[in-house]
A and B are shown apart, each in its own frame.
Chain A
Amino acid sequence: MAEAAIQTAPRTDIDPREFDGPAFQKNPFDLYKRLRDHHPVYHDRFHNRWILSRYWDIDTAFQDNGSFDRAQYRPGGPYKFGTNHVFGPNILEYGNSNEHRRLRNIVAGQFVGQKLDDFIPMIHQICEEVVDRLKGSDTFELVTQFSSQVPIRVISNMLGLPREDEDTFVGWYHALIAGLGFGGEHLARGVAARNEMWAYLDPIIDARTGKDGEDLLSRICNAELAGSRMTKEEVKGFVALLLAAGGDTTDKAISNMWYHLMYTRPDQLDAVIADPDLWQNVFTEMMRYDAVVHTQLRYTTREVVMHDQVIPERAGVILYLGSGNRDERVFRNPDTFDIQRDDLHMGRENRSGRYKDGKPGHLGFGIGQHFCMGYAMARQESQIACMKLLQLYGRPAPRDATHPGITSPNIDSGGFRSPSELWLRKA
């Protein structure tokens, strides 16, 4: 789209404290637009970081591994893996190193293609069980009674943990996730839950190592790539990561999909009921319009020049995926939620962010070296969960005429965006 055709926001200076306020947590989009229109490379001196907000600039940073790295460690300084992370040592701490490639490739294959297909019947079953418990009620609260129940039970089953332990596992999950978002007392409880979970997993990992079980935990313990396996610590770190990166995100994706069909575009629910294939579009447009994850952080490994601005070496750079997804330079009427839009690649994402249909994809899974490993699983699971709820519960309607809206605990901490409650009733 031609730059001239864009309606720009009034030029205003940005006060970096705006990023810390509750207004931004609720509605970051106005500030995103001011950034895109007038400060495409914004130096936030108050938080000591730089911000990129336009679609193609974010794409560039994701693709340019020579200049932007995700590593949390300082190349020169001491860094002990796992020390500042609730998950312990895990793949998120690695930058663009060979070590990252090694770890990723050992596990990445488990979440796509045939390996994923093997788990689909189980996903159907879990969703049916969870809806079964709601079927009799005229009203229910989606977040606690549905969305937050499905992904964690799916992961527990994928790992091949005994079904009678599932509820305990769900408990650890909630404590761990709370520990990520809030710090303080929650962090302590999160770490305690992680330690309990690790103690629980320890003998199970031992028992499965060296045996060719078909469950995910066995596969991870034994997956070998070019003679290399994960260490026991890496396996445990990965399981913890799976709960947050794979559980909490998908959980919130499901809530967001329903939120938009209940409050943002209730007029599009009929189309979805008539053609369940459209759940795929609901997922994709949700990931564009108000993605679960709005922020990724990178560090420059050398001086970078963008829009005539010089970002120095070793600078922290925030990539606002949530803003790139609303970039009017890329999407028409970006602030309209529309599952029928024809300027967005609606099908499965891929790692390069380039599609044969020539359309741009959403940025909600990242792109490139660290592109979400669970992209296919998240999509399948969200679609199946939404479809099952509709089929087995029947058409829902919002219980309340108005809703406080989607928010995030703290976007800049990586806090995931979703409604905290969503009450539904039988329509």
Chain B
Amino acid sequence: MAKVRIDLDTCIRAGECYYNHPELFRMNDNGEPTLLARELDTPELIRHAREAAVVCPASAIIVEE
């Protein structure tokens, strides 16, 4: 099953993931993105993960298919 993870060392807190894809990402109090799911078990979640990986300016979102 496809999985997603975020590399918090490269993440610059730009927020594009959680503002554009609240279905999968949320912001914590430090501005860091957190995942609502790690395993992407619906086509919708896979789409959100892939789109977020594209818009992330730091390339910090990794989708493992």
Contact = CB atoms under 8 A, between A and B. Distances in A.
A350 B14 contact: yes
Contacts of A353: 31
A356 interface: yes
B15 A350 contact: yes
Given A105-B55, A109-B55, A352 B15 contact: yes
A83 B51 CA distance: 33
A226 B51 contact: yes
A368 to B, nearest CB: 7
A356 B55 contact: no
Tell me what chain A mostly uses at the interface: helix, strand, loop, or mixed: loop
B55 A351 contact: no
A101 B48 CA distance: 13
A113 interface: yes
Given A112-B57, A113-B57, A226-B51, A351 B30 contact: no
A143 to B, nearest CB: 33
Contacts of B16: 351
A135 interface: no
A135 to B, nearest CB: 38
A353 B18 CA distance: 13
Interface in B12-65: 12-16, 18-20, 27, 30-32, 47, 51, 55, 57
Given A101-B20, A368-B19, A369-B19, A352 B55 contact: no
Contacts of B19: 351, 368-369, 371
A354 B57 CA distance: 15
A355 B14 CA distance: 9
Interface in A257-293: none
Contact of A351 (B15, B32, B47, B51): B15
Task: Classify chain A: how many residues form its interface, as a range.
Answer: 10 to 19
A355 B20 contact: no
B31 A354 contact: yes
A355 B32 CA distance: 10
Contacts of B14: 350-352
Nearest to B21: A101
Contacts of B20: 101, 105
B57 A352 contact: no
Interface string A332-350: 0000000000000000001
A352 B27 contact: yes
Contacts of B57: 112-113
Interface in A338-384: 350-356, 368-369, 371
16 contacts: A63-B27, A112-B57, A113-B57, A226-B47, A350-B15, A351-B19, A352-B13, A352-B15, A352-B31, A353-B31, A354-B15, A354-B31, A355-B31, A356-B13, A368-B19, A369-B19
Given A351-B19, A352-B18, A354-B15, 15 more contacts: A101-B20, A113-B57, A350-B12, A350-B15, A351-B15, A352-B13, A352-B27, A352-B31, A353-B31, A354-B13, A354-B31, A355-B31, A368-B19, A371-B15, A371-B19
Interface of A: 63, 101, 105, 109, 112-113, 226, 350-356, 368-369, 371
Q: Which 6 A-B pairs have the closest CB atoms?
A: A354-B31, A352-B15, A351-B15, A352-B31, A350-B14, A354-B13
